Amino acid sequence: MPYKIYNEEEGTCLQCGTTIRGRRDKQFCSLSCKNAFHNGVLMTKRQQRAKIVATLTGNYHILEALLKEGKTGAGLDELFELGFDPAYVTEHRRGKFRHDEYACFDIWYFRTDTRIFNVRRIVSVPR
């Protein structure tokens, strides 16, 4: 029967690589492999999210320290040494004039290729 032949193709378990027989769309050899695979996907997503939050938190502490020192700007080289990563921002606005504006939560700043300036806290009221 063509139907049966179609349904009995071999596949490979996405988790352990074992050859599996059965339905063509079967992806796992067992329920435990299926669970392990999906737990791994969730773990990876969780770790990526935690890394982004940690980087933003690090940037925020660096910007906050500048403000506490009464500074409104700093060279990017100096900031890189402190661990600042300008790729991580929570908001971005195209510059009305020359420079784009970035935010790390409630702290905003302008950025050039070599420095940030006009660092300030803007507290917006949540809608």
DSSP secondary structure string for all residues of the chain: -HHHHHH-EEEE-TTT--EEEESTT---SSHHHHHHHHHHHHHHHHHHHHHHHHHHHHHHHHHHHHHHTT-S-EEHHHHHHHT--TT--SEEE--SSSSEEEEETTEEEEE-SSEEEEEEE--PPP-
Other beta carbons within 10 angstroms of residue 5's beta carbon come to 8
Closer residue to Zn ion in complex, CB, 13/76: 13
Closer residue to Zn ion in complex, CB, 35/44: 35
> Residue for token digits 């050899």?
29
Q: How far is the CB of 26 from Zn ion (least distance, A)?
A: 11
- Which residues contribute to the site for Zn ion (CB under 5 A)? 13, 15-16, 18, 29, 33
Q: How far is the CB of 62 from Zn ion (least distance, A)?
A: 45
Closer residue to Zn ion in complex, CB, 15/59: 15
Q: How far is the CB of 123 from Zn ion (least distance, A)?
A: 52
Q: How far is the CB of 48 from Zn ion (least distance, A)?
A: 25
Closer residue to Zn ion in complex, CB, 41/67: 41
